[in-house]
Amino acid sequence: MKLDPKTPAGPLADKWNNHKAKLRLVNPANRRKYHIIVVGSGLAGSAAAASFAEMGYEVSCFCYQDSPRRAHSIAAQGGINAAKNYQNDGDSVRRLFQDTIKGGDYRAREANVYRLAQVSTNIIDQCVAQGVPFAREYGGLLANRSFGGAQVSRTFYARGQTGQQLLIGAYSALSRQIGLGTVKMYTRHEMLDLVLVDGKAKGIVTRDLVTGAVEAWSSDVVVVCTGGYGNVFYLSTNAQGCNVTATFRAHRRGAGFANPCYTQIHPTCIPVHGEDQSKLTLMSESLRNDGRVWVPKDKADCAKPASEVPEEARDYFLERKYPSYGNLAPRDIASRAAKEVCDEGRGVGQLVDGQRLGVYPRFLGGHQAPRRSGSPRPLRQPV
């Protein structure tokens, strides 16, 4: 088997533009002749199904939940990155591309990531059109906040409920098309197999999870939008036991399986509280936005309450090690740095197997400059 990513030819910045320019278009009057199956109804599935139907195609959408609103996309908290440069701080498609490549540990396909950066601004506009209530500045423009791994503010968000609000918007657009009869929704259906005709996906086989009936469905195109492969890792921030049936069935029929091992390394997790904990508790990435992260310089101070550790005895280790990024260093770098200080015996929080596994956040709020002297602010549970 020869793996072919089907990446368009040409310079990186022009690959997908040239590809789009050469694609054959479908007359609006001919679109109703084509049937598209969309497997999955999260952010990608709902948005794809609604968009195809809006363009005039006949669409069938399948999901194994009892409603598309139950998709796991609801769990995404932080926001969406887009190179709109509302802050006028030097952002661009190229910078978003570079930050995303680095954030993916240089494992992603460059052409695909560049295309992602190109369409990022349109994705925000589509979400707004679907009614997503993004946070806004006083003048009415969409607000941005900083996240780790970037030196610009490019994250569009809806407080700490971005995933939920995005899913409501996509589901609303999907529901509109279901009401118009352009999308047929099949809930509680699990994809069991992919039907290939001359090497192309032309249908699926499903099981009705209520009646147990096994059925075959034909189409002109199959779009699989079933989310990433979430294997079960010990104390990961991933959703444990993700359903990956559709992805595996497509792989068994010959689809290449890229990046099969995905672990979300996150520096904003509440530390382990005991052996019965099955999953790390994820806190918002925005904790690092305008806050600071520290541990005591002296191991003897680790058992003291944070309020008893004077400012000069605190080690703001991310700012010390990565001055250009500070607390906004990329996730994996910040996580490794936090682990290093804990391995040195300077972690804080409860003892777990003789080791303290937390670091302290210092909340500043707004865009106030870090306070480097005076009494410390009240602190919450170590992170």
Residues assigned a catalytic role: 331
Phi–psi pair at 183, nearest 5 degrees: -125, 130
With H, G, I as helix, E, B as strand and everything else as coil, classify residue 215: strand
* Radius of gyration over every alpha carbon of the chain, rounded to an integer in angstroms: 24
Six-digit token string for 15: 């690959």
Report the interhelical angle of 110-129 vs 93-103 (nearest 10°).
110
Q: What does DSSP say about strands 269-270 and 58-62: parallel, antiparallel, or unpaired?
A: unpaired
Residue type, 327: N
Report the interhelical angle of 110-129 vs 15-22 (nearest 10°).
70
Six-digit token string for 376: 């410390």
Cα–Cα distance for residue pair 215/318, rounded to 1 Å: 55
Torsion of CA 244, 246, 251, 254, to 10 degrees: 180
**Torsion-angle region of residue 352: left (phi > 0), alpha (psi -120 to 50) or beta?**
beta
Cβ-contact 60, 204 below 8 angstroms: no
Cα–Cα distance for residue pair 316/267, rounded to 1 Å: 14
